[in-house]
């Protein structure tokens, strides 16, 4: 064979190889499932109750991610926050004054035990006075109850004789029942006072027998608890103020406005409806025997169908990943049925589209192509 023929034979084989490579690159990928692009429609609501002050987003307008959509009236919350801060300052001032007073009294006495004893005695005296007042009031109510009983007996006789006196009988019965309930409730209060007084007396006796050191932190603990509660209230109000504004979670179009300025909106009640400008998810239906290819997080490619029903070329493939999978076989949407309207079944799989995916539209049918098929 001459060198020229060898060169020609090599060129023929090389061109044949190029044609094979070109044909292989132009092959149509085989689809293992079908998917439909989801419509990204979201209802946006406040996390707290309030009066709607402003709807910044206009109907059918395009809003960017982070743009202000609506806001609540903050006048009431601001007023409560100012009051809470003033109350916190007052509590802190009282705490500091009490701490200074305790320190002064402790430093001016030879023994801290005397200060503790005096406080206990004062508590017992206060409880004793409260107990005596309760007992006095209880006796007065008992006398009043006895009078109501007599008056009720007379009213009962009159009610039997005169129908017009029936209303008077009902009034007397109501007053008697109210007095009786008041006496019963006060009995529980008196029992608690006696118990507290006995406990305080016992503590006083123990304190007299033992040497007790006054712990300033114990005396100041009520102030510390009150300050902590007020600080928690301020933090809660601050958090509520942070939630009075609704911002767009992504770039979208305002499809509906459910509430107007001046309306009271409850937490969770939709204020706006947004439709994503670029779809982010597609729902596919996979045959059970192919589910092993679509584990969570697996990368796949989605190809948009042409008008004739064939898949698009590789240059228009959309990258995606498996986000979630169903557990049972269900009926596919009618758009995915075979010709002749034969129903099809599959397991639902949700695909997350890549952010840089080509523009798709909600409801568009895609072919799902597993990467190992290509």
Please name which of 342, 324, 277, 285 lies closest in space to residue 67, comparing C-alpha atoms. Answer: 277
Residue 225: CB atoms within 10 A of its CB come to: 11
Angle at 226 (CA atoms; ends 121, 126), nearest 5 degrees: 20
Please name which of 22, 38, 56 lies closest in space to residue 272, comparing C-alpha atoms. Answer: 56
Q: How far is CA 80 from the centre of its chain?
A: 21
Q: Which pLDDT tens digit goes with each residue over 279-320?
A: 888 999 998 888 888 888 898 888 876 544 444 444 468 889
The phi, psi pair for 266, rounded to 5°, reads -80, 160
Inter-residue long-range contacts of 103-106, CB under 8 Å, 24+ positions, other chains counted: 103/216, 106/214, 106/216
Q: Which pLDDT tens digit goes with each residue over 67-85?
A: 999 999 999 899 999 999 9
Question: pTM for this one?
Answer: 0.48
Q: Which pLDDT tens digit goes with each residue over 208-226?
A: 776 545 567 778 888 899 9
- Mean pLDDT, the chain, whole residue set: 81
């Amino acid at each position: 064979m001459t060198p020229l023929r060898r060169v020609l034979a090599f060129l023929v084989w090389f061109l044949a190889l190029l044609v094979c490579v070109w044909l292989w690159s132009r092959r149509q990928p085989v689809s293992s499932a079908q998917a439909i692009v989801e419509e990204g429609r979201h209802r946006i609501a406040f996390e707290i109750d309030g009066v709607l002050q402003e709807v910044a987003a206009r109907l059918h307008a395009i809003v960017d991610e982070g743009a202000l959509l609506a806001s609540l009236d903050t006048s009431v919350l601001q007023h409560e926050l100012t009051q809470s801060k003033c109350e916190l300052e007052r509590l802190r001032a009282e705490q500091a004054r009490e701490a200074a007073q305790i320190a002064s009294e402790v430093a001016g006495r030879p023994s801290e035990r005397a200060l503790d004893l005096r406080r206990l005695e004062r508590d017992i005296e206060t409880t004793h006075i409260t107990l005596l007042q309760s007992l006095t009031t209880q006796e007065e109510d008992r006398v009043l109850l006895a009078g109501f009983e007599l008056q009720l007996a007379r009213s009962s006789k009159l009610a039997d004789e005169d129908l017009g006196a029936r209303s008077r009988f009902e009034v007397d019965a109501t007053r008697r029942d109210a007095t009786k309930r008041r006496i019963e409730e006060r009995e529980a209060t008196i029992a608690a006072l006696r118990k507290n007084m006995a406990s305080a007396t016992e503590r006083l006796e123990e304190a007299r027998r033992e040497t007790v050191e006054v712990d300033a932190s114990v005396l100041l603990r009520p102030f510390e608890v009150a300050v902590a509660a007020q600080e928690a209230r301020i933090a809660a109000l601050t958090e509520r103020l942070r939630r009075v504004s609704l911002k767009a979670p992504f770039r979208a179009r305002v499809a509906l406005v459910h509430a107007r300025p001046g309306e009271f909106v409850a937490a969770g009640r939709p204020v706006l409806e947004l439709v994503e400008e670029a779809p982010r998810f597609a729902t596919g239906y996979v045959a059970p025997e192919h589910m092993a290819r679509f584990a969570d997080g697996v990368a796949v490619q989605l190809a948009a169908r042409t008008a004739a029903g064939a898949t698009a070329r590789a240059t228009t493939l959309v990258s995606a990943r498996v986000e979630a999978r169903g557990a049972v076989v269900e009926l596919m949407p009618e758009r995915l049925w075979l010709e002749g309207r034969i129903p099809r079944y599959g397991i639902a799989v949700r695909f997350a589209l890549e952010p840089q995916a080509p523009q798709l539209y909600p409801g568009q049918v895609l072919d799902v192509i597993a990467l190992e098929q290509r």
